[in-house]
Amino acid sequence: MTKLRAWISAARLRTLPLSISGILVAGAAALLANSFSTPVFVLALLTTLGLQILSNFANDYGDGVKGTDSAGRVGPMRALQSGLISRQEMKRGMIITSVITLLLASMLIFSAFGNKNIILSFVFFNLGIAAVIAAIKYTVGKSAYGYRAMGDVFVFLFFGLVGVMGCYFLFTQSLGDWIILPAISIGLMSTAVLNLNNMRDREADALVDKNTLAVVLGRDKVKLYHTALIVVAFFAAVSYFLLVANELLDYIPLIAFVPLFMNVVKVHKVESHILLDPELKKVALSTFLFSILFFLISYF
């Protein structure tokens, strides 16, 4: 594998559709509110992609340094684990990605507010810094929250509430129109992806003291938790469309929950944690399908 391919692998491109789902949902809601802005939308997408790639680099680095990645790991080979990228190179990659992401966030904030609202610009810039720190601290450092069963909380907050509601505010300067409901849905579905990942790695993580929520809850309770994530996400989405839909076609995005409920059945039936790996893609792509269908019906 060449160095370029190693960096592409470390960026984990398969995670990127999930990361932009919240932006698509916020854009769809903004279209319904007649407040959509193409520059805000594009810059929000780019900023979110930067944060996700930074998070992936940081996870690769943090788990590699801590020795969490091992030969027994079920998922794809990590760049640091394989030796194709050194610790110093990954650090530089994280720094460069952080700078680019904050630059994009600054352009996004200026595109949304211009020179008119310094206070809001300051608040959102600090949210951007907080998102960068959260992306890094998931696995990096002695106080990495991903090792203390806090990853689910941060994913729900940043992929759901902050990601969707924050982006919607950049479009509309408002937090009305029941935007909290799709924010909850995206946050919970994103958390379900993380939970599946942690369920898959539960046994290996327990051996290296990586106390994810899956490790803390154990094999049976974490399956119930996974079910709750999908069910509550569904009811939040249904509630939103009941409040804002004008016709039956507006409910089309709910089709995405069909594979999600199939995933719940699969999770309860599966015996080997190795079999959970393909389910990660199903949940991530179902979340993306929900968001893209929502965006398309709002656009057209």
Lowest mean pLDDT among 160-164, 213-217, 275-279: 275-279
pLDDT above 70: residue 211: yes
Kindly report the number of other CB atoms within 10 A of residue 159's CB atom. Answer: 27
Q: Which residues pair with 211 in a beta bridge?
A: 148
pLDDT at 74: 56
Three-state DSSP at 148 gives strand
Find the Cα–Cα–Cα–Cα dihedral 131, 214, 90, 5, rounded to 10°. Answer: -110
Return the closest-CA partner of residue 6 out of 45, 57, 49, 41: 57
Q: Which tokens is 50 given?
A: 């930067």
Looking at the DSSP bridge assignments, the partners of residue 148 are: 211
Q: How far apart are CA 136 and CA 53, in angstroms?
A: 10
For the beta carbon of residue 248, count every other beta carbon within 10 angstroms.
7
Least confident stretch, 106-115, 121-130, 131-140: 131-140
pLDDT in tens, 126-179: 999 999 999 999 888 777 888 888 999 999 999 999 999 999 999 999 998 899
Dihedral-angle region of residue 2 (phi above 0 means left; psi in -120 to 50 means alpha; beta otherwise): beta
Helix (H, G, I), strand (E, B) or coil at 68: coil
pLDDT at 209 over 90: no
Q: Which of 298, 300, 193 is nearest to 253 (CA)?
A: 298
pLDDT of residue 206: 87
Render pLDDT for 228-260 as a digit per residue (tens, 0 to 9). 999 999 999 999 999 999 899 999 999 999 999
**Nearest 5°: CA angle at 6, between 2 and 7?**
120
Contact 64, 81 (CB under 8 A): yes
What pLDDT is attached to residue 63? 79
pTM score: 0.93
- Confidence band, pLDDT 50/70/90 cuts, at residue 32: very high
User: Is residue 82's pLDDT more than 80?
Assistant: no
Task: Please state, in angstroms and rounded to a whole number, the distance separating the CA atoms of residues 282 and 59.
Answer: 22
Q: What is the reported pLDDT for 8?
A: 87
First to last CA, the chain: 43
How far apart are the C-alpha atoms of 111 and 164, rounded to whole Å? 17
In single-letter form, the type of residue at position 74 comes to: V
Which residues touch 238 (CB under 8 Å, ≥6 apart)?
Answer: 254
**Cα–Cα distances in Å, from 84 out to 71, 72, 78?**
16, 19, 9
Please state which of the ranges 21-30, 57-66, 91-100, 238-247 shows the lowest mean pLDDT. 57-66
For residue 20, pLDDT over 70 is answered with yes
* pLDDT exceeds cutoff 70 at 49: yes
What share of the chain has pLDDT > 90, as a percent? 70
Q: Which ranges constitute the DSSP H helices of the chain?
A: 3-11, 16-19, 21-32, 38-66, 79-82, 87-113, 118-137, 151-155, 166-172, 180-200, 202-207, 213-217, 219-244, 257-269, 277-299
pLDDT computed for residue 77 by the predictor: 59
